[in-house]
Structure 1
Amino acid sequence: MTRDSRTGSARRRKCPRCGRPVLQQLVGRVAALDVTADDELLPADQAAALRTDNRLDWCLRTTRAGTELQWADCHRRRTPCPRPHVVDHVCTGPRVPSPARSRRRPVPVPAGQLTL
């Protein structure tokens, strides 16, 4: 869970792979998404231009408790959204090596016997 337990707002962190500043938060109440977004504020139209099928943009609302990420439903409005937006983080850091697999040799069995 990446929502700040005291305030419900987004947490500012650094990406463990590339070191860029990011915002992390659970967005939504029922079926929440764990969002990691770049901490680079953009106008709504620029954020919408960076949006793809696998990269969403988020509306940033500032409250007394802190910064909160919200679904960017404001693209449907006739007037541009006055709030800043952020987009999902795409990490450019080196890949984390996967754990080594054990290379067990199969146990030899007599011919005709099935192995499990």
Structure 2
Amino acid sequence: MTRPPATAGSGARRTSCPRCGSPVLRQLVGRRAALDVTADDTRYTAAAAEALRDPNRLDWCVRRTRDGLDLRWADCHRHATACQHEHVVDHQCTAPPVPTRPAVQRRSRKTPPAPAGQLTL
């Protein structure tokens, strides 16, 4: 049995945020412990994206491959030369928080086989 190429389907796909509707890029970034990245589709230079970075908002290097866009870890600041690729930053949703619904209590006509809090086998 053959395996599909490692790059098949692994590129960034353009979509919109389900809450605020702004255009975003989504991709699993990394091979072993992949992160599910949702980044704004606004492109920046490496320096501008680094200025927007904070501990809870990372920036990503956007590479163009034959299969489309590919997000990669932005470790460009380690190199002596400036990165020439475009960069994007993690999406911060501006929509109001989704209200939580109260838990619905189940109405059962059956009496429980054991008192509340007791486990049954």
TM-score range, shorter chain: 0.7 to 0.9
* 2:97 is the alignment partner of 1:95: yes
In the alignment, structure 2 segments of 5+ residues that lack a partner are 1-6, 107-115
What SS does structure 1 have at the residue aligned with 2:14?
strand
Deviations 1:49-96, CA, capped at 9 Å, x for gaps: 000000000000001100000000111111110000000000001211
Query: Alpha-carbon deviation of 1:20?
Result: 0.4
CA RMSD across the alignment: 1.8
Deviation at 1:6, TM superposition (A): 4.2
1:7 Cα deviation from its structure 2 partner: 3.3
* Alignment match of 1:22 (pick from 6, 21, 24): 24
How many residue pairs match? The answer is 103
Residues 8 and 103 (structure 1 numbering): CA distance in 2 closer, same or farther, change over 3 Å? closer
| 2:41 equivalent among 30, 39, 42 | 39
Could you list the runs of 5+ residues in structure 1 that have no partner in the other structure? 105-114
Shift of 1:102: 3.4
User: CA–CA distance in 1 between the matches of 2:101 and 2:82?
Assistant: 47
What TM-score do you get using the length of structure 1 for normalisation?
0.82
Tell which deviates more after alignment, 66-75 or 93-102. Answer: 93-102
2:87 alignment partner, one of 60, 85, 88: 85
Once the two structures are aligned, what percentage of the paired residues are identical?
A: 59
Q: Cα distance, 1:98 vs. partner?
A: 1.6
After TM superposition, the runs of 4+ consecutive aligned structure 1 residues lying more than 2 A away are none
